[in-house]
Structure 1
Amino acid sequence: MPEHPAHIAPQGPRPIARVLVDTPLPQLDRLFDYQIPREFADEAKPGVRVKVPLKSAGRVLQGYIVEVGEETDPERALAEIDTVVSDAVVLPDRLYRLARAVADRSAGSATDVLRLAIPRRMVRAEKAWLAHPEGPDIEPIPGATDDLGSYPGLTDALTAGERLALDAPPGVVGLVPEWARLLASIAASALDRGTSAIIAVPDHRDLDRLLSGLDGIVPAGAIVRVDADQTAQERYAAYLRTTGAGPCVVVGNRSAVYAPVADLGVLAIWDDGDSSFEEPLAPYAHARDVALVRQSLDGGALVFCGHSRSSDVERLVSIGFAVSVGPERRRSPRVVIAAPQDTPNTGRIPSAAFRSARQALELGPVLVQVARPGYAPSLVCAECRSPARCASCGGPLHAPARGATPVCSWCARAALGWQCSSCEATSVRLASSGSERTADELGRAFPGVRVIVADGAHPVQTIEDQPALVVATRGAEPLAPNGYRAVLLLDGERMLQAPDLRIGEACLRGWSNAAALAAPGAATHLVGVTGPVARALATWNQPAYARTELMERAPVKMPPVVRVARVEGDVPQLEKALVRLGADAPGLSPDAILGPVPLADVSGRKRARALVRFDYGRGTAVAESLRASVIEAAVKSRSRRPRGPAEAGRPRTPTNTLSVRLDVADPDL
């Protein structure tokens, strides 16, 4: 705890503040006591930003006051708060409790969580908020919750604050997906009860569609948008709005689950299986797990909504922790399993699907989903079929356009004069078709029909209700007014070959979202795929596939049946952490620890990685043990840090010797 040895402690109780210091050092992830100077007696209150001296760092750091109290020990010398940065309460107690709980579950630091939750301070936005912190008046819109009537018991479940796995209806009305209208009605029901709602979606496309669904159902003044596309001023202003006492509807991406609304009525996540909900920064907590922690702390209803169901949510349903809710009258797209046929007229498209697309083009647009963007994402030798690699760096070659010189995907060098390293042939063959090549092929197969490419390089949000072929990658499909007249799902067999534990779930989710964009009665053709995934799509019974996945993963103890932690670091620290884990978390199965596996040497240091599989009931003990090992490794690393000026070529601060990530979705990645 920061102290001034030369300070003469005054007599009697002294006002103190318990401060969370904003520092990346894991050993400092706790509250420090600081004396409140007389000049800050009125300003130093819980939740405000402050600057405080930290003896161990030898400088002044920013932090947040979490609590205020009194120090009754006259002999205890305390450092004083240096500055109160602002009067704005940016860390309400409810957010600190959430950050602390998420950090403890993930073996991380509360400050790391708060960096994800609290945007960078913008003075202009803060002054505007302090001048008018009450927010606009909100008048409910009549009939806003009518769509909830098609789901028996949904309104009562939302009011009771239950955890729900909600099957979203397929379809598009105008340019608004049915799922967006359903979530908008759920948010409106929360406002009717005088509470707030939070809706998190994977990306900006889904966010725009959700906002279109909120239009006319939720008052515009109640909507608070929180996402990375906003300017720093807009995002900080939106965050301050969520700290107020008035109800609102917060919409945004994965960080929206941290929005510190005062009275949370419902927290909804759309399509939780999307990889965008996986946080790439420490402590790597998935938005779904944050939502579960928050619901346990703040109450309110928790809704996981989607066309497909992740195995994580299905596990919650199977153990009775969540309730599955579906519509009274089930609606499902018409899915046709099409076998591939290689004929000159249809190419990669079977005859039946080809005829269906031709007939549908007489009525409106047709969607064609492909696996990858670009023209030819991969090339092989024309003679021996070996993958074509760059002669400079060894990266894979691809064709950016028809007849173009192959280009390396890693170093971007043109492969002029390429020669196969296996057979010395000099010609390449297209091994796969991307969105642009597919559009080229369809343009020749359907002369006179407009072809639209929609992928990461060619973003398209909406199209007109006119005949057109729309070639899109998964997740980039534009909306068509009232749906597509036919949907073709290509490259399914290639998609399922990806080395990913959850590839079946990912494909089913992408295909279900595309099929949901079809017009009522329009056919969706799944090409070249059979088996459980195809049956789940054809019968529109995605929960059954998720249950099958859980049953198959249980014997081999793979997530989400169990939790998995990845531990990486220097070999001595890693081995010590694993020994400590065995003592701190008794009862782990003999096969709980997989590894250690050696990793590439870093600056002459031998490093390794291990996986730890454990039941959910042992999560607290495992997280505490691994967190203690991380702190111990950080302290030792800091004690060995060279003193004085850094030498040339040698960093002053050494890299972390041990890192931990809990809840790894796929141990192979």
Structure 2
Amino acid sequence: MSAESRRIARVLLDSPLPQLDRLFDYAVPAELGEVAPGVRVKVPLRTAGRVIDGYVVEVGTEDDADRPLSEVDTVVSPVQVLPERLHRLARAVADRAAGSASDILRLVIPKRQVRVEKAWTADSSPFEPSAEVVAAAEAVVSLYDGLGETLSDGGRAAVEAIPGLDDGRPAWAVLLAGAAVRTLAAGRSSILVVPDHRDLDRVLAALADLVPAEQVVRYDSRQTNPDRYRAFLRSLEDAPCIVVGNRSAVYAPVRAGLVVIWDDGDPLLGEPLAPYVNARDAALLRQGEEGSALLLAGHTRTTDVERLVALGWLRDIRATRRVLPRVILSTPQEMEQPTAQRMPSSAFLAAREATAEGPVLVQVSRPGFAPSLVCAECRAPARCAHCGGPLGARHRGAVPVCGWCGRSARAWTCPTCSSTKLRLASSGSERTADELGRAFPGVRVIVADGAHPVERVDAKPALVVATRGAEPAADGGYRAVVLLDGPRMLQSPDLRIGESCLRWWSNAAALAAHGAPIHLVGVNGQAARALATWNQSGYARSELESRAPLHMPPTTRVALVEGSAAAVSRALIALGELALPSDAVLGPVPVESDDIPARVRALVRFEYGAGTRVVTALRAAVVAEAVASRRGRGKNPRSTLTVRLDILDPEL
């Protein structure tokens, strides 16, 4: 380095402000010594007059020593927590979602734990599974046509998992474990992303049969901060491992040879924090950046995945020998029975016979005893007099309680007909358990819902009443499955309610033992036929075809633009220069809020090919509004414009 040159560090600031989402140049003083890319630093921010956290992305030299630059204040830690591959991924994901890279990094890089960092010693010795373990993994992979080739070539595939159990484990968990171990044997790391802690525990149990615990890195929201930081440091090592975790695990900084997303239709895989990126979309971007194999696996298929299969972007992989569950639909005669009888005779008799052998699963739509009440005279929904929330009953004969504010309604009067009498309008998990307990005397009744979590039930006779998504696994599988409240589930106004119901029903049916009857009660439409024939991909294909003429997601992308009327108007004017179709913008319409000035909202629909241009224009509008807002600090110190890409369909 010449006398006139100096060392500089290009730093990404850890700030949510959109105008700071770029690299800043800082001079590296001699007293700091060597500063490596990826380390945490503290740097001054002249506009704010304070020191801010950041990450060194690049280190170099420049000859223009006269250029005024601030100096790096402190190197917080010598650990390179931001490798280049992680920065590239965060940048790509943020650019697609019109967000900030620091928001992505905040999801994956934990807060520093000094004791954990000092005790950490990187072990770069690779683990080699035994020949027996590799053979077991190969046997699992061979159950699916073309899966081994996809894993070897770093391909992309949509995998229809085999329902049921494999040696007492869920077959889907065994599939994920087998694919990960096969990749580990090839000297590459794997990332297995699942929606919730129950799925995570099932995958860990399947892996425990194949590899030592130290080869598995757990990314779990239930972990303590030290455990989370310890797992992150392990994933920075060059030695391959298997990362298993929830949605943020998709960003784990391993050198991935395989990324698997299980059940991508689960809303838990959608990030609730800015920039609101779904784990599936992040995995697709990661595969494009790194060339790893990508599997989007599930018992059902979302329309998002089916679109990619139809385009040839994903390979359609199914079992070489399909074993379909035994699904029985309600007959027209049974559906004409009085509505008070929730379980038709065929399902009732099947449940009675099955309880003599083992557990029976009964899926219901809602938790509680009676989640909603209505007026006994006019059938108007019973509402709280204080907040307008729905009234419900916690048990038989209980005083009605508001589901929003929790107040009791001891002297309720119907505002429509002045009646003081209430009746039960729906049955929750507890009321269903109460009714079935009297119909099945002497049989254990187990309630599994959010208030009563149950992870597993034994093989003894029992009736397990569970809400959708809370069904526990049963030893040996359920001897029968009864799916209630199907019509009520389908009444939701969500755009994707059909595929959501099919996913809930299919995941419950997959818990049944081989040959066990599965009764879907009260539903006989397209989604029911898809379940009966186990043709979930066909249903997703038909849904995709019906949405295309309406330009609804996922056939097009949708951006939500919200802010003051002036800010939204400026953003839409900028989009007008992109020559989008005349019907691309819906709105703006007022948003109910107490903000001053009043806020409005608009939706922008655009083709995937126009994504880069639209996102760039929207991001520029957000930055411009943020800068203008900061200059007028006394009037409105916060940005008046927010943008969300690929919003959840219920929000439409």
- Same fold, TM-score > 0.5, yes or no: yes
| Counterpart residue identity of residue 637, structure 2 | P
SS class of match (1:560):
coil
Query: Does residue 1:532 correspond to 2:526, yes or no?
Result: yes
Structure 2 matches for 1:231-250, cutoff 5 A?
A: 231-250=224-243
| Counterpart residue identity of residue 306, structure 2 | E
Q: Name 1:139's counterpart in structure 2.
A: 128
Structure 2 matches for 1:343-492, cutoff 5 A?
A: 347-492=341-486
Residues 341 and 349 in structure 1, CA contact (< 8 A), matched pair in contact too: no
Structure 2 matches for 1:170-569, cutoff 5 A?
A: 170-173=163-166, 175-262=168-255, 264-339=256-331, 340=334, 347-569=341-563
Query: Does residue 1:663 correspond to 2:646, yes or no?
Result: yes
Aligned counterpart for 2:625 among listed residues 623, 626, 633: 633
Aligned counterpart for 2:616 among listed residues 617, 624, 628: 624
1:51-75 deviations in whole A, cap 9, x for unaligned? 0001011100000000000121132
Residues 404 and 577 of structure 1: is their aligned pair in 2 closer, same or farther, counting only changes over 3 Å? same
Residues 385 and 657 of structure 1: is their aligned pair in 2 closer, same or farther, counting only changes over 3 Å? same
1:358-392 deviations in whole A, cap 9, x for unaligned? 11111111000000000001100000000000111
Residues 264 and 280 in structure 2, CA contact (< 8 A), matched pair in contact too: yes
Aligned counterpart for 1:163 among listed residues 156, 177, 185: 156
Residue 296 of structure 1: CA displacement?
Answer: 0.3
The Cα RMSD (Å) is 1.5
Q: Name 1:598's counterpart in structure 2.
A: 590
Residue 11 of structure 1: CA displacement?
Answer: 5.0
SS class of match (1:77):
coil
Residues 359 and 460 in structure 2, CA contact (< 8 A), matched pair in contact too: yes
Residues 452 and 17 of structure 1: is their aligned pair in 2 closer, same or farther, counting only changes over 3 Å? same
Residue 136 of structure 1: CA displacement?
Answer: 6.3
Residues 388 and 396 in structure 1, CA contact (< 8 A), matched pair in contact too: yes
SS class of match (1:631):
helix
SS class of match (2:602):
strand
Instruction: State how many pairs are aligned.
Output: 645
Residue 603 of structure 1: CA displacement?
Answer: 3.7
Residue 123 of structure 1: CA displacement?
Answer: 1.0
Aligned counterpart for 2:68 among listed residues 66, 77, 87: 77
Residue 175 of structure 1: CA displacement?
Answer: 4.3
1:88-122 deviations in whole A, cap 9, x for unaligned? 11000000000001111000111111111111111
| Alpha-carbon distance in structure 1 between the residues aligned to 2:421 and 2:125 | 67
| Counterpart residue identity of residue 85, structure 2 | R
1:333-382 deviations in whole A, cap 9, x for unaligned? 00000244587999310000111111111111100000000000110000
1:461-489 deviations in whole A, cap 9, x for unaligned? 01110110000011111111111000000
Residues 144 and 188 in structure 1, CA contact (< 8 A), matched pair in contact too: no
SS class of match (1:423):
coil
SS class of match (2:244):
strand
Residues 196 and 247 in structure 1, CA contact (< 8 A), matched pair in contact too: yes
| More deviation, 119-128/561-570 | 119-128
1:221-243 deviations in whole A, cap 9, x for unaligned? 21000010100000011011111
1:415-473 deviations in whole A, cap 9, x for unaligned? 01110010010011100000000000000111111000000000000111011000001
| Alpha-carbon distance in structure 2 between the residues aligned to 1:169 and 1:612 | 39
| Counterpart residue identity of residue 445, structure 1 | A
Q: Name 1:611's counterpart in structure 2.
A: 603
| Alpha-carbon distance in structure 2 between the residues aligned to 1:75 and 1:136 | 47
Q: Name 1:64's counterpart in structure 2.
A: 55
| Alpha-carbon distance in structure 1 between the residues aligned to 2:650 and 2:519 | 33
Residues 277 and 286 in structure 1, CA contact (< 8 A), matched pair in contact too: yes
Gaps of 5+ in 2: none
Residues 126 and 240 in structure 2, CA contact (< 8 A), matched pair in contact too: no
| Alpha-carbon distance in structure 1 between the residues aligned to 2:556 and 2:501 | 23
| Alpha-carbon distance in structure 2 between the residues aligned to 1:520 and 1:394 | 47
SS class of match (2:581):
coil
SS class of match (2:550):
coil
Residues 574 and 608 in structure 1, CA contact (< 8 A), matched pair in contact too: yes
Identity of aligned residues (%): 60
Residue 582 of structure 1: CA displacement?
Answer: 1.5
1:163-199 deviations in whole A, cap 9, x for unaligned? 1000100112454100000110000111111000000
| Counterpart residue identity of residue 382, structure 1 | A
Q: Name 1:121's counterpart in structure 2.
A: 112
Residue 144 of structure 1: CA displacement?
Answer: 3.3
Residue 125 of structure 1: CA displacement?
Answer: 1.2
Residues 601 and 366 of structure 1: is their aligned pair in 2 closer, same or farther, counting only changes over 3 Å? closer
SS class of match (1:521):
coil
Residue 555 of structure 1: CA displacement?
Answer: 0.5
Residues 419 and 187 of structure 1: is their aligned pair in 2 closer, same or farther, counting only changes over 3 Å? same
Residues 479 and 513 in structure 2, CA contact (< 8 A), matched pair in contact too: yes
| Counterpart residue identity of residue 594, structure 1 | L
Residues 630 and 638 in structure 2, CA contact (< 8 A), matched pair in contact too: no
Q: Name 1:649's counterpart in structure 2.
A: none
| Alpha-carbon distance in structure 1 between the residues aligned to 2:573 and 2:298 | 42
Residues 11 and 74 in structure 1, CA contact (< 8 A), matched pair in contact too: no
TM-score (norm 1): 0.95
Gaps of 5+ in 1: 1-9, 643-651
Residues 345 and 550 of structure 1: is their aligned pair in 2 closer, same or farther, counting only changes over 3 Å? closer
Residue 220 of structure 1: CA displacement?
Answer: 2.1
| Counterpart residue identity of residue 449, structure 1 | V
| More deviation, 114-123/302-311 | 114-123
| Alpha-carbon distance in structure 2 between the residues aligned to 1:552 and 1:427 | 44
| Alpha-carbon distance in structure 1 between the residues aligned to 2:210 and 2:125 | 17
| Alpha-carbon distance in structure 1 between the residues aligned to 2:544 and 2:86 | 33
Residues 381 and 117 of structure 1: is their aligned pair in 2 closer, same or farther, counting only changes over 3 Å? same
Residue 653 of structure 1: CA displacement?
Answer: 7.0
| Counterpart residue identity of residue 154, structure 2 | G
| Alpha-carbon distance in structure 2 between the residues aligned to 1:157 and 1:175 | 27
| Counterpart residue identity of residue 133, structure 1 | A
